[in-house]
Chains A and B, each alone.
Chain A
């Protein structure tokens, strides 16, 4: 996953300032919780799609943590993505129960189809709790079952247009 280098950023423009203010607002609102960092990061991803490098010092300041602490948490968890999401997101389960129902073939087909795409992002997950109806996966966040390569094609037919 391509990541922006730290502070190669030019001087903040109005959009950056608006984002910083929004992130600060989120952090300040949730700071009173016990253990607020994960809820704050979830809220930032929900509002802005990802955690930008510039969000980290803002959150660190509000919580009185070091930037390294916040960065350490952001980088530990899969959910706190650091780049903007693509237009469409596919996440396929590759865990045992789905493997038993052919998840590898679906994943291979998806890789063939979308490798290198900037519009469609393919990821892997390990169990979505739909293990009796696999291969399971999510398409733009919505859970699907029995995802054979053909079914995946049908469900995403409109995306490639």
Chain B
């Protein structure tokens, strides 16, 4: 009897040799199936062997170990992690959007159905569009792309807009450092996104959809395109979605290496074939979006939550979470962390649980100095703030943001002044150039931070930096310029000594108002 083994095809697993392991296993006569990653990335390549008691995982398998793996010699070694489904790191999570990721073959539509797929779409097709939108509203689902805007409100705006054609666009640009959940969902369970987009299309009356997927993700592009083809072949997409008479055509478009194209209006310009420059709002994309038509723009994880919302009902989803942050969030642990990967949990989980309990502290073994939550535009937080619950409002009140749920860990070797400088530098590099506070302010920001760190007219330059941050926050057209001050100010507030400071400079930093109100509300529009 040949053994059946599962080897992840996820890009992160492949980056540490999963393909080589899969080839070696095939050559050794095993039946190899390729799943997505379970999200326990420090264990990759995590090979799972089917047994009567379940799939037993073996961590960090190399091609040379394939013989030992198949002959059972790796059992009870340090690499044997036991039945993967029962692994404490997974068992403690609440996998909703990621329920199938790592479990099934990504483009196996039959397995997708067996594991609950398409139930949400079937229910949506049986409901009136207003009722589909109501389920989404009732679920309390908020945009996972950064701003946390209520999905139901946006859906209703598009639904009631009149036009010859409407679009659904999925924002899969995922440019934020420290975020990879969009990628892993697409690589591990692409039908969930396709189903979510199709439900959205049915609800708002859209007939065409685009996924704007960044070019840095070639594995995801291949998997999603294959899944779209299969969905067409089985009538999930096309002229009559599951025989309902609804048309929905879906296409995957590839970005071209510009961070700003993650901003939704810039993304729309890019999809139209133009420079990815941010548009002034209004008009909002929900009314005048792609090619001037009403367009629903949602993040991958927003759309990936939708099949569950429809299958189980909005109220069931709303029962999870805390405050106005309902449901689950897919957190991503990255950077200098011992156990990095995907942690899907109900909102309300504390930063400490994520960083210490799941993450196991730093990879280097040195004390944690800071985490940056929410990508390059998010705040740096010291361990003293690790009791913050993951909740949009609680984070906003602490001058931070949940954003896309990326948590990047730094050990004590981190230089907060250098990270603040980098935030300005990144903004200068990736600014679309449309408005002065961002385009020019970020370059000036780099210079001012350099002067502060060099001790040149330090006090005057701190005031100047504060001014500059206020100008960027208040005067930028979008959150690129509007939120870059957030990491800068938080770094200065918590680690003034990294800005070449005598400790008293914290007093100066504390005077800096941290109101994050840009013209578009500070949060990502």
A residues touching B (Cβ–Cβ < 8 Å)? 34-39, 41-42, 72-73, 76-80, 95-101, 125-134, 136, 141, 143-146
Closest CB of chain A to B281's CB: distance in Å? Answer: 20
Chain A residues in 8 Å Cβ range of B453? none
B44 touches A38 (CB 8 A): no
Chain A residues in 8 Å Cβ range of B335? 96-98, 100-101, 131-132, 134
Chain A residues in 8 Å Cβ range of B12? 129-130, 132-133, 145
Main secondary structure of the interface of A (DSSP, over half): loop
Choice from B175, B219, B410 contacting A126 with Cβ under 8 Å = B175
Main secondary structure of the interface of B (DSSP, over half): mixed
7 additional A-B pairs beyond A100-B408, A125-B257, A126-B175, beta carbons within 8 Å, are A42-B254, A73-B275, A76-B258, A95-B376, A129-B184, A131-B178, A132-B332
15 A-B residue pairs with CB within 8 Å: A38-B253, A42-B215, A76-B276, A78-B258, A79-B257, A98-B177, A100-B336, A127-B178, A128-B216, A129-B11, A130-B11, A131-B332, A131-B335, A133-B15, A145-B15
In the complex, A36→B210 CA distance in Å?
Answer: 13
B256 touches A42 (CB 8 A): yes
In the complex, A73→B273 CA distance in Å?
Answer: 8
In the complex, A125→B334 CA distance in Å?
Answer: 17
In the complex, A155→B336 CA distance in Å?
Answer: 23
B256 touches A145 (CB 8 A): no
A101 touches B15 (CB 8 A): no
- Residue B333 is within 8 A (CB to CB) of chain A in the complex: yes
Among residues of B, the one whose C-beta sits closest to the C-beta of A93 is: B177
Interface string of B419-440 (1 = CB under 8 A from A): 1001000100110000000000
Closest CB of chain B to A22's CB: distance in Å? Answer: 20
The list of the 10 closest CB pairs from A to B, nearest first, reads: A132-B340, A78-B257, A131-B334, A37-B273, A95-B177, A77-B256, A100-B335, A79-B256, A129-B180, A35-B273
Among residues of B, the one whose C-beta sits closest to the C-beta of A36 is: B273
- Residue B176 is within 8 A (CB to CB) of chain A in the complex: yes
Closest CB of chain A to B486's CB: distance in Å? Answer: 13
B16 touches A146 (CB 8 A): yes
Choice from A35, A42, A99, A141 contacting B271 with Cβ under 8 Å = A35
Closest CB of chain A to B174's CB: distance in Å? Answer: 7
In the complex, A130→B332 CA distance in Å?
Answer: 11
Closest CB of chain B to A59's CB: distance in Å? Answer: 11
